[in-house]
Amino acid sequence: MEELRSPGGVPPRADVVVIGGGVVGCAIARELSRYRLSVALIEREPDVATGTSKANSGILHAGFDAEPGTWKARLNVRGARLYSEIAEGLHIPRREIGSLVVACTPTEREELEKLLLRGRQNGVVGLELWNRDRVLEHEQHVSRDIEGALWAPNAAVACPFLATVAFAENAIRNGARLVTECSVTGFDSEDGHITAVRTSRGRIETRFAVNAAGLYSAAVARLAGDDSFKISPRVGEYVVFDRSITDLARSVLFPTPTKVSKGILVSPTVHGNIFIGPNAVDVDRLDYTETTPSGLEEIISGARRMVPNLPLQGAITEFAGLRASAGHDFIIGESPAMKGLVHAAGIQSPGLTSAPAIAETIAECLREAGLELEPDPSFVPVNPRRPKFAEATRTEQAALVDADPLYGRVICRCETVTEAEIVTAIREPCGARTIDGVKRRVRPGCGRCQGGFCGPRVTAILARELKIPVTAVRKETAESYLYFARERLGDLAGDRLEDRERIDA
């Protein structure tokens, strides 16, 4: 079934409505598309991966940190294994580079022994305690004053937004329907069982819905009369370095964790950058993504504890992301207030790692709630491969240009992104509809100039491909227009804001 993104209504009915287009919601939609079901995936913004999934560390955790027996412990380990099986077929960038939890004091060294035991209880294989010399042999820039580290060889890095897009695209290719710019406004029920999801784009009759709304999952639950949990937003700030800085860390470097967070990391990304961060600050706004001088100072100070000589002159950008904290564990299961409504909420770290395993678990929850899951023999578990011009050989590049001259037009010089790649990113089944949507799929704007050269060109391509005026092009969210247009003033103060206030209430 084709995706629905243009103005209009939603499908009149669906077997399952998945609320939220983050990595968890998209993974759930893909998992459900394995079965003979009609699935509607609804997202309040113009694109998937616009919330927590757009701005996190991109770490596929080994699974030694979570308390044994929790959802986090079980689903982290299972999810990490699933990524090793599905990432290649879905074309999710993934690098298995291992991680080190670094101890800087004797007390922290004792904590490593507890993490080692916990990891083994959780089923993590290959864990080792390394002494100082072994760590310094592996990581030449780590502080000489460390006590040792816990080595987890199976830890990996991945691209969180490309993972989200890949899950969504595969779900759509297998029959799911994606509806963007669609907010939940309420639920209908009969005898305590859900009968419909009411949205800003229309009513969807259904007997089952999944609440994977991330930061807004508690607000969605309240619309069903469910006050069983609360979401507390927690912001984390990051600094990203230019790709010319390549040897600062070979593996993911964690400090010894605290009860609040895994701490400030120094880590490579799957795209070859190095980042430091995040901190962890509780905030009172669900849209708070500001960086602050004090936060950046905290990140730099924390990172220097492990890696003293940070090349701050190579920093190219800072950003902040929000986590949906709901306590010490994920909230997974049927709502106590409405039958047929299943929660996948409070998904903070290790949520990215756990996403495919959460999807399996939610499918089983739906089965237990009465949904019939009949496997669809036509399910295709992979996505088609798309050329990456920057990674191709000269011969391959020449062949691409011969086949499509748009490969010969480089739009982003920093990342060597061509017009053909941007056009494909817009036209694909889960296509980009915003500047940031293009950026996250094929990386124009991710280099040293941060979009200074390519930004206007990407804007023009979006307007052309979407057949909209340049004044209608948006950066990321529904209201993030790049240019002022007088005729849009009423929209900015009208229905869309009312929808947002309704769900935030």
Cα torsion angle, 455, 46, 292, 252, sign: negative
To the query of whether residue 61 is one of the catalytic residues in this protein, the response is yes
Please state, in angstroms and as integers, the Cα–Cα distance from residue 227 to each residue in 223, 255, 359, following that order: 9, 36, 23
Polymer length of the chain: 505
Classify 306 as helix, strand or coil. Answer: helix
* Tokens describing residue 106: 């004797």
Classify 99 as helix, strand or coil. Answer: strand
> Measured between alpha carbons, how far is 472 from 479 in angstroms, rounded to an integer?
10
* Tokens describing residue 425: 């990113």
Helix, strand, coil shares, percent, the chain, to 5? 35, 20, 45
> Measured between alpha carbons, how far is 462 from 473 in angstroms, rounded to an integer?
7
Main-chain phi, psi angles of 182, to 5 degrees: -135, 110
Cβ–Cβ < 8 Å for 85, 78: no
Closest CA to 211 of 110, 322, 77, 346: 346
Main-chain phi, psi angles of 348, to 5 degrees: -100, -165
| Cα angle for residues 306, 309, 314 (degrees, 5° grid) | 115
Residue ranges in 174-284 assigned as alpha helix (H): 217-223
CB-based contacts of 368, cutoff 8 Å, min separation 6? 334
Closest CA to 58 of 66, 69, 49: 49
Please state, in angstroms and as integers, the Cα–Cα distance from residue 404 to each residue in 400, 423, 463, following that order: 6, 11, 20
Main-chain phi, psi angles of 362, to 5 degrees: -65, -40
Please name the residue that has the structure tokens 């207030």: 337
Q: What DSSP designation does 126 have?
A: S
Write out the catalytic residue numbers.
61
